[in-house]
Amino acid sequence: MTHRRGWLVVVAAYAAAEPEEACTPAVLPVLDLAPFAGGDDDAQRTVARALDAACRDHGFVALRNVGVDRALLAAAWNASEALFALPEAAKARLEPWAAATNRGYSPPGRERLNARRKTREPKEAFNVKGAGNQYDEAPAQFGAVADELWRVLVVEAANRYAVAAALALDLPRDFFSKTLQQLDLCTLRFLHYPALPPSEEGEVLRAGEHTDFGFATFLFIKGGAAGLQMKSVEGGEVRADEAGGWRDVVVPADDDVVAVVNTGALLARWTNDRWRATAHRVVAGSAGAPERYAIAAFIDPDADAAVAAHPSFGASRYPPTTGLAFLRMKLDEANA
Ligand SMILES: O=C(O)CCC(=O)C(=O)O
Ligand SMILES: [Fe+2]
């Protein structure tokens, strides 16, 4: 909490979102992934039915028992704080983020998740992949914690969720998990949103309006910090309607190992929009905001995985694509 040097300088350059509006909070349905780590068929079917309802109604769920325990999550927040507290000169020695790898450090002011916004976002991030991570310049414990989170979330939880989703959608059990074998496009992302002072121009966008790109995202928010907002699921992918209809996402406060899981755009394509990718963003109110940490595991289908609507969902609304073609297009938009 001592790293607020320079925040006045930072905020002046970033966009005001729309004027503040009263919003009804979105309380996420809470589901339990435990039956997919060895439960019986009935328990799995019960969760799958609830998952289908939640994904059709919201596109966001709160998920218990994804495999991250309190000790691992605490270690992850410590590692993340230590990384983002490095002096700028040390951050400059981290592997720089590059589109070709989607790995490494991305400094404040580089991204805009909504390509139609003129201004960029004050967040910084460090992306980890399944191989090739360069931890030499990161704090001592960072690499071990990041690799363990990768194993738990990307290797294990994602595959369990893939089976739950297939069951929920009446698809063959391995329909999604067979596209999560290489895990070459998945990304574990440590996010830091620097503190913001009061703003005379209203709300400040900390992460622009977007839908996630891939299969699904597992998100942890340190201390359940405010800021994440979502639209209604009917909106689908963000088009020209950034204003209006935003709701604060409420994560159950009693249990900070709950993951927020949301549907990505490729899963929407596979299901021909039975499940949609819900637009979301991160904002800070005009009164300013403390710094905020989050960790996102973006679960993306393998580079060579073909993505086309399953025939059981009717005539496809989308042209077929592949994991790689779609992710490249989305990353190019966010970094252009
Ligand atoms: O920090 C958050 O709460 C959400 C971040 C997010 O939506 C993203 O990085 O895709
Ligand atoms: Fe997102």
pLDDT at 6: 32
Closest CA to 204 of 121, 295, 106: 121
Ligand 1 nearest atom to the CA of residue 206, by list position: 1
pLDDT at 331: 82
Using alpha carbons, list the distances in angstroms from residue 223 to 97, 253, 276, 308: 27, 8, 28, 38
Cα separation, 38 vs 42, in Å, equals 12
Cα of 71 from ligand 1 centre, angstroms: 22
Q: What is the pLDDT of residues 216-275, one digit of tens each?
A: 999 999 998 999 999 887 766 555 356 778 999 988 765 668 999 999 999 999 999 999
Ligand 1 nearest atom to the CA of residue 191, by list position: 1
pLDDT at 11: 36
Q: Where are the alpha helices (DSSP H) in 130-271?
A: 142-149, 158-168, 265-270
Ligand 1 atom 9: residue of nearest CA: 296
Cα of 210 from ligand 2 centre, angstroms: 6
Cα of 22 from ligand 2 centre, angstroms: 22
Binding pocket residue ranges, ligand 1, CB within 6 Å: 191, 207, 212, 219, 221, 228, 280, 282, 294, 296
Cα of 229 from ligand 1 centre, angstroms: 10
Cα of 137 from ligand 1 centre, angstroms: 25
Closest CA to 311 of 123, 164, 170: 170
pLDDT at 21: 56
Ligand 1 nearest atom to the CA of residue 260, by list position: 3
pLDDT at 240: 39
Ligand 1 atom 10: residue of nearest CA: 212
**ipTM of this complex > 0.85?**
yes
CATH 3.40.50.150 assigned to 7-335 = no
Residues of the chain with pLDDT under 50: 1-13, 240
Ligand 1 nearest atom to the CA of residue 221, by list position: 3
Q: Where are the alpha helices (DSSP H) in 26-153?
A: 41-57, 70-84, 88-91, 142-149
